[in-house]
Amino acid sequence: MSTCRNKDCCCSAGPLTISSEPGEVERNDGTALVLRIDNMDCQTEEALIRNKLSGMPGIKNLSFDLMQRKLTVIHSLKDIKAIECALASIGMNPVRMEDVDSPPSPAGYKEFILLGIGGTFAVLAEIVTWTTGREASWPVIVLTLLAIAVCGIKTYKKGWIAVKNLNLNMNALMSIAVTGALFIGEWPEAAMVMVLFALAEVIEARSLDRARKAIQSLMALSPEKAFVQQSDGEWTEVEARDVAMGTLVRIKPGERIPLDGKVMIGRSSVNQAPITGESIPVAKLPGDKVFAGTINGNGSFDYRTTSDAGHSTLARIVRAVEEAQASRAPTQRFVDRFAKAYTPSVFAAAILVATVPPLAFGYPAMDWIYRALVLMVIACPCALVISTPVTVVSGLASAARAGILIKGGVYLEEGRKLKSLALDKTGTITQGTPVVTDVIPLSADEAKGLRIAAALAARSDHPVSDAISAYWRVHANGLPLDEVSDFSAMAGRGTRGRIGEHWYCLGNGNLADELGMRDAAIGTVLEKLEAEGKTAVTVCDESQALAVIGVADTVRETSRKAIADLHALGIHTLMLTGDNTHTARAIAEKVGMDDVRGNLLPEDKLSAIHEELARFGMVGMVGDGINDAPALAKASIGFAMGAAGTGTALETADVALMDDDLRKIPQFINLSARTASVLKQNIAVALSIKALFFALAIEGAASMWLAVFADMGASLIVIFNGLRLLKNG
């Protein structure tokens, strides 16, 4: 058993001393202490830890990440030694995460060597029994005890800890079953059961390591070294984790990019598939963003880092996937609740089987005790419990590789239930980079309208304003922009500001109506532009409209295919946009959407989501993660477009599409359906095998070693079935 590392600590109650503990994070609900526990492999250890810590004073919440063997304790203690001692008392070996410099190590070859030795003793015990016909001869007893000593000491230690803490986990059940077999004289079988159980544990640990590596491999995409410019101008190779933000890094042809940054000198094409899932390399010019983990093409360039190693886009993706798989999906919560009731129920049934038939009906006691021991082996819910986390983490890792960042197992599992999808227009269905197509003057001074519009547009970051600013730069002939004071944005309508002594407005048709500027002539111009699928913007002074500017945004090439794929999945599509209804309808018809609503303010989009939820139940919303925040938050699942370049979207969305490809949404829904199917398969397999052996045990047709073998087989079936999701992205 592990002992507490703190020599001055007593595991019993005692006064807490005030100390400053490194590696802890202050939160609103307490202090978060993150520990890695290398011998915390599955829900067996989780239940033991939860039972031990949950009742301790000062412990507010526990969060488990079994794949990475991490435990997060939210507490209000002044000294964490009590936590370390409590964990040590149940055989756990906690290490603070800041002291960890490597991922969890996989099961080593030492276990297989011990299994080989113990297995040899068990087989020899079977051979001696078969050749002599005596199960209780001293050679059989010695060989059995040797086999159990080599392969079962760890199980007995864990089982004793569990029993002391009133926890009926699989180690406790197996210890009781093997001890019972020895008690009734089933010596060779007791040895074989313990060896098979130890073998199952090692194989299961190896299999789970594959799921762990699916996440670790994401972080391994980022190289450990970076070629950086020093303060004296010299270029030196250093550890990537030591590179500060703002450092100049040089990338050679074919190299992986170690940190996020912005290209300063040179040009190349970069394979961004590890981050965004894009199959075609993306051209990079000065001013363009690059991401850690992506692969440079044939060119060479220098770029300035915009984050350190711990805060790169890739690092945030890895953290998000880890946090997502640590949260319980609906099926996983159901399985956990079922397992809590299943194990004690089967254990109680085993007690009844061992006592009722002999005492009530006079049946042979040893025969029914043996059947009860088989039931105890069956009571281990390992295959059932392990089936869900392996499946969920495989699905999350598969999605991340494809450039789809899913922020929780619940979204992965529930995505297949979407019935309606609402999509913002600008930057989602369209490119989001509109250009000016028409400038129609309405006053005697033809140039004035464009000049005023450019001055107001320069103060806004709306895509339409960017288009007007870009158009002005080309056609200004070197003229400076007018100074704007008292600038303000009017949500969903436009902008307003003062130039000199006069007020001016730049906005859509709604603003023109609001100001009473729409007359027959202006109405005709607006309707013509909107009918052509363009956004019509009016610039006005205090008394009249000065010009109407037509702006068009091109539809993404992938949008039509994405909408068609969504319809094939039976999903209703709805465009929500602040643009005018004519333009919105023209774009919607181009891509084949079912419904469209224009002239919407942010609160109108929220109301539309409310209506869709009432009509369809499960509704998704696609936007940029910032401007559409209320609607994204209200939707069943919020999708953020182009999250690789937007930290806010990456942090806030339920599902973040790392590039601007809408086809990833049907891909996500299909992955959700596959995940749900695998979860159902795994649960069905685990329960069917348990039910079969329950019946066989009652009939006396099942042996203990066969029950262990079946349990091991069921665990491996559900693990490898879950790992199938890692294939084909």
Tens-place pLDDT, residues 174-195:
899 899 999 999 899 899 889 9
pLDDT above 70 covers a percentage of the chain that reads 88
CA distance 633 to 639: 10
250: pLDDT strictly greater than 50: yes
Structural domain boundaries, residue 42 = 25-99
Boundary residue ending a domain (552, 585, 618): 552
CA distance 139 to 540: 103
Residues assigned a catalytic role: 424
In a domain, 274, yes or no: yes
Distance set, CA 215 to CA 155, 348, 396, 417, 603 (Å): 29, 40, 9, 26, 39
For residue 291, what are the β-bridge partners? none
Query: Within this chain, do residues 265 and 170 fall inside the same structural domain, yes or no?
Result: no
CA distance 354 to 351: 5
Query: Within this chain, do residues 298 and 207 fall inside the same structural domain, yes or no?
Result: no
- In sequence order, what are the residues at sequence separation of 6 or more whose Cβ sits closer than 8 angstroms to the Cβ of residue 61? 29, 30, 73, 74
User: Quick one: average pLDDT of 392-403?
Assistant: 87
> Would residue 649 be called left, alpha or beta, if left means φ above 0 and alpha means ψ between -120 and 50 degrees?
alpha
**Strands 70-75 and 59-65, sheet pairing:** antiparallel
468: pLDDT strictly greater than 60: yes
pLDDT at site 365:
92
pLDDT digits (tens, 9 = 90+) for 632-684: 888 999 998 876 555 555 566 789 888 888 999 999 999 999 999 999 999 99
Opening angle at CA 662, ends 658 and 664, nearest 5: 65
User: Quick one: average pLDDT of 407-426?
Assistant: 91
pLDDT digits (tens, 9 = 90+) for 308-354: 988 888 887 777 776 766 666 778 778 778 877 888 888 899 999 99
236: pLDDT strictly greater than 90: yes
In a domain, 185, yes or no: yes
Query: Within this chain, do residues 257 and 386 fall inside the same structural domain, yes or no?
Result: no
Helix (H) or strand (E) holding 317: helix 313-326
User: Quick one: average pLDDT of 370-397?
Assistant: 83
With the CA atoms of 666, 672, 678 and 684 taken in that order, what torsion angle do they form, in degrees rounded to the nearest 10?
-130
Query: Within this chain, do residues 200 and 328 fall inside the same structural domain, yes or no?
Result: yes
625: pLDDT strictly greater than 70: no
Query: Within this chain, do residues 57 and 80 fall inside the same structural domain, yes or no?
Result: yes
pLDDT digits (tens, 9 = 90+) for 495-552: 899 998 899 999 887 788 888 888 888 888 888 888 877 888 999 988 888 999 998 8
* Domains of the chain: total: 4
- Among 444, 393, 481, 417, smallest CA distance to 723 is for 393
Question: CB–CB of 304/273 below 8 Å?
Answer: no
With the CA atoms of 631, 637, 642 and 643 taken in that order, what torsion angle do they form, in degrees rounded to the nearest 10?
100
More confident residue, 221 or 300: 300
pLDDT at site 11:
40
Query: Within this chain, do residues 126 and 74 fall inside the same structural domain, yes or no?
Result: no
pLDDT above 90 covers a percentage of the chain that reads 34
Query: Within this chain, do residues 200 and 115 fall inside the same structural domain, yes or no?
Result: yes
For residue 248, what are the β-bridge partners? 304
Boundary residue ending a domain (71, 99, 127): 99
pLDDT at site 121:
95
CA distance 543 to 159: 86
Q: Give me Rg for the CA atoms of the chain.
A: 33
pLDDT category of residue 573 using cuts at 50, 70 and 90? very high
pLDDT digits (tens, 9 = 90+) for 36-81: 888 787 677 888 898 889 888 999 888 887 767 888 899 988 888 8
pLDDT category of residue 16 using cuts at 50, 70 and 90? very low
In a domain, 413, yes or no: no
568: pLDDT strictly greater than 70: yes
Give Cα 116 distance to the centre of its chain.
39
Strand, helix or coil for residue 444: coil
How many C-beta atoms lie closer than 10 Å to residue 280's C-beta?
9
CA distance 176 to 114: 22
- For residue 257, the domain's CATH number is 2.70.150.10
Query: Within this chain, do residues 209 and 329 fall inside the same structural domain, yes or no?
Result: yes
The overall average pLDDT reported for the chain is 84
Strand boundaries in 355-493, DSSP class E:
404-406, 420-424, 435-441, 485-490
12: pLDDT strictly greater than 50: no
| H, E, C per residue of 663-696 | CHHHHHHHHHHHHHHHHHHHHHHHHHHHHHHHHH
Question: CB–CB of 270/297 below 8 Å?
Answer: yes
Instruction: Say what the pTM is.
Output: 0.72
In a domain, 360, yes or no: yes
In a domain, 44, yes or no: yes
Boundary residue ending a domain (524, 552, 580): 552
In a domain, 633, yes or no: no
End-to-end CA distance of the chain: 42
pLDDT at site 14:
35
Query: Within this chain, do residues 508 and 443 fall inside the same structural domain, yes or no?
Result: yes
pLDDT category of residue 563 using cuts at 50, 70 and 90? very high
CA distance 446 to 439: 9
- For residue 480, the domain's CATH number is 3.40.1110.10
Strand, helix or coil for residue 403: coil
pLDDT category of residue 286 using cuts at 50, 70 and 90? very high
Residue 683 tokens, joined: 């649960």
Query: Within this chain, do residues 74 and 143 fall inside the same structural domain, yes or no?
Result: no
pLDDT digits (tens, 9 = 90+) for 196-213: 888 877 877 776 676 666
- With b for 16 or more beta-carbon neighbours within 10 A and e for fewer, the 394-422 pattern comes to bbbbbbbbbbbbbbbbbbbbbbbebbbbb
Query: Within this chain, do residues 388 and 280 fall inside the same structural domain, yes or no?
Result: no
Residue 252 tokens, joined: 């050679």
Residue 29 tokens, joined: 């609900």
Strand boundaries in 254-349, DSSP class E:
261-271, 282-284, 289-290, 295-296, 300-305
Helix (H) or strand (E) holding 212: helix 187-219
149: pLDDT strictly greater than 90: yes
In a domain, 74, yes or no: yes
In a domain, 588, yes or no: no
pLDDT category of residue 15 using cuts at 50, 70 and 90? very low
With the CA atoms of 696, 698, 701 and 704 taken in that order, what torsion angle do they form, in degrees rounded to the nearest 10?
90
pLDDT at site 106:
53
Residue 400 tokens, joined: 């991340």
Query: Within this chain, do residues 268 and 346 fall inside the same structural domain, yes or no?
Result: no
Sign of CA dihedral 289, 295, 300, 302: positive
pLDDT category of residue 728 using cuts at 50, 70 and 90? low
Burial class (CB in 10 A: 0-12, 13-18, 19+), 707: buried
Residue 658 tokens, joined: 């790392």
Token match 């940054």: residue?
Answer: 261
- In sequence order, what are the residues at sequence separation of 6 or more whose Cβ sits closer than 8 angstroms to the Cβ of residue 459? 465, 484, 487, 495, 497
279: pLDDT strictly greater than 70: no
DSSP 423-443: EEIIIIIB-S--EEEEEEE-S
pLDDT at site 19:
32
CA distance 177 to 704: 8
pLDDT at site 13:
35
